[in-house]
Amino acid sequence: MTDYVSRNGLVIVALLALALVGGAWYLFAGKPSAGAGDAKGMSGGQSVAVVTAHPTRKDFAHEVEALGTLRANESVDITAKVADRVAAIHFNEGQQVRKGDVLIELDNTEARADLAAAEAAASDSRSQYKRSQELFQTKALSEAQLDQLHATLLANEARVAAARSRLADRVITAPFNGRVGLRNVSLGGLVSPGGVITTLDDLSIVKLDFAVPEVFLSTLQPGLSVQALSTAYPNEPFTGRVASVATRVDPTSRAVTIRALIDNRDGRLRPGMFMTVKLVRQEGQALMLPEQAIVPENDQQFVYVVEDGRAHKRAIKIGRRRPGEVEVLEGVTADDGVVTDGTMNLRDDVAVREQPQAAGSPARANGQT
């Protein structure tokens, strides 16, 4: 029994010795040397490598965004002035027509008969008046009788003009160059005054009407450039010019309506289309910074400005944005060197060392060097 206990004790002692040897090896051989780690830490504490850039003044167009609706340059519903039967149709749906082209002919039998009767009466009155003038010269006819015959002649000539007008109402022509729409009548059908036969639109130019807040009224004038986008043609802007500005401001919305003209000779834009409009008020210069230089915190924006080898955190006020750049309204000037790469490693009043940015390599948005 005593031998058994002694052997167990020796085993325990051997195990403890092995554990001590393994721990010592881990501490002195497996763990990196404290000197190397300290050197690395000191190197990081001395300075942070950053890339800087100066804010630059660049051309920046002042834009106003709005929503607009397209209208045809000229648009009309083709209707009849009289009630009658359709005798002939001279257009196809969607056809391009010119001013004066005949679109519809209505039955004109009765109108022609009325014109013939009026012309016959006028001819008879003309003959009687001519004979009465000869009789008046011989004193066989009084002046009052001559005046009565002349009045009758004028009345009959007026009836001829009215009959011709009624006959002309049976022929419906295009009032201007344009494209006809859908046909709403058929041959032999009865049309009535005000009934829409078809539509006619001049689409060579389209009008874009949109409203902007009255605060921009002082800078609005004809000739300003506009760009419009439609969901029918995504990523394809249509360019136009402001033609006129409304003379009144809407008292409810406090907005003023603007009308721009867009060239549409290819016919892709149609009246009634909804468009997103960008109105370029004027070209100006703005102080611009790369977007990755901005450090947002809550509702504020900051940048790091390098002065005397140290980075100083500075609050700024930003304005408009465009891809990759931000307009700076307050906080920095064109002489300040602003950190554009390395902001993730910075704190206020940290020592930095400036490094040139590699040619053709854009500053990285994550701020790592």
* Neighbour-count burial of 303, counting CB atoms closer than 10 A to its CB (0-12 exposed, 13-18 middle, 19+ buried): buried
According to DSSP, the residues that pair with 295 across neighbouring strands are: 302
Residues above pLDDT 90, as percent of the chain: 40
Report how far residue 74's alpha carbon sits from residue 88's, in angstroms, rounded to the nearest whole number. 26
Top-confidence residue, 298 or 207: 207
Quote the DSSP letter at residue 257. Answer: E
51 in Cβ contact with 341 (< 8 Å) = yes
Q: Is the pLDDT of residue 41 over 70?
A: no
pLDDT at residue number 22:
54
Using pLDDT thresholds of 50, 70 and 90, give the confidence band for residue 45: low
Top-confidence residue, 57 or 38: 57
Using pLDDT thresholds of 50, 70 and 90, give the confidence band for residue 15: low
Report how far residue 347's alpha carbon sits from residue 54's, in angstroms, rounded to the nearest whole number. 20
3-state helix, strand, coil in the chain (%, to 5): 30, 45, 25
169-180 pLDDT tens trace: 999 999 999 999
pLDDT at residue number 241:
92
pLDDT at residue number 2:
45
Q: Is the pLDDT of residue 233 over 60?
A: yes
346-359 pLDDT tens trace: 888 888 888 776 55
Min mean pLDDT across 46-50, 138-142, 188-192, 363-367 is at 363-367
**CA-based nearest residue to 281, from 73, 37, 65, 10:** 65
Instruction: Return the ∠ at Cα 218 (arms to 217 and 223), rounded to 5°.
Output: 80
Annotate 51-64 with DSSP letters as a single string: EEE--EEEEEEEEE
**CA-based nearest residue to 197, from 270, 90, 70:** 90
According to DSSP, the residues that pair with 198 across neighbouring strands are: 78
> What average pLDDT does this structure show over 22-43?
42
Q: State the greatest distance between any 2 C-alpha atoms of the chain, in Å, as a whole number.
A: 182
Report how far residue 104's alpha carbon sits from residue 60's, in angstroms, rounded to the nearest whole number. 55
Q: Among all chains, which residue has been given the structure tokens 């419009």?
A: 228
90-137 pLDDT tens trace: 999 999 999 999 999 999 999 899 999 999 998 988 888 887 887 777
Mean pLDDT of the chain: 82
**CA-based nearest residue to 279, from 329, 203, 222, 206:** 222
pLDDT at residue number 350:
87
Q: Is the pLDDT of residue 261 over 90?
A: yes
pLDDT at residue number 11:
52
Report the Cα–Cα distance between both ends of the chain, in Å, rounded: 71
Instruction: Reduce the DSSP state of residue 295 to 3 states and report it.
Output: strand
Q: Is the pLDDT of residue 24 over 60?
A: no
Report how far residue 228's alpha carbon sits from residue 64's, in angstroms, rounded to the nearest whole number. 12
Top-confidence residue, 28 or 105: 105
In angstroms, what CA-CA distances link 63 with 59, 224, 225, 227, 277? Answer: 13, 11, 10, 10, 10
Q: Is the pLDDT of residue 37 over 50?
A: no
Residues above pLDDT 70, as percent of the chain: 83
97 in Cβ contact with 91 (< 8 Å) = yes
pLDDT at residue number 363:
44
Cα torsion for 319, 322, 324, 327, to the nearest 10°? -20
In angstroms, what CA-CA distances link 331 with 55, 294, 302, 305? Answer: 11, 12, 9, 10
Token pair in block for residue 38: 């300290």
Domains along the chain? 48-59+285-354 (2.40.420.20), 64-72+202-283 (2.40.30.170), 81-107+171-193 (2.40.50.100), 108-169 (1.10.287.470)
- Global pTM? 0.57
pLDDT at residue number 48:
85
Using pLDDT thresholds of 50, 70 and 90, give the confidence band for residue 73: very high
Report how far residue 261's alpha carbon sits from residue 178's, in angstroms, rounded to the nearest whole number. 17
Q: Is the pLDDT of residue 25 over 60?
A: no
Using pLDDT thresholds of 50, 70 and 90, give the confidence band for residue 13: low
According to DSSP, the residues that pair with 337 across neighbouring strands are: 306
pLDDT at residue number 7:
53
Please report, as a single letter, which amino acid is at residue 18: L
Please report, as a single letter, which amino acid is at residue 186: S
Residue 82 CA from chain centroid, whole number: 43
Q: Is the pLDDT of residue 335 over 50?
A: yes
Please report, as a single letter, which amino acid is at residue 63: E
243-258 pLDDT tens trace: 999 999 999 988 999 9
225 in Cβ contact with 61 (< 8 Å) = no
Measured in residues, the chain has a length of 369
**HSE of 102, CA atoms in CB hemisphere, 13 A:** 12
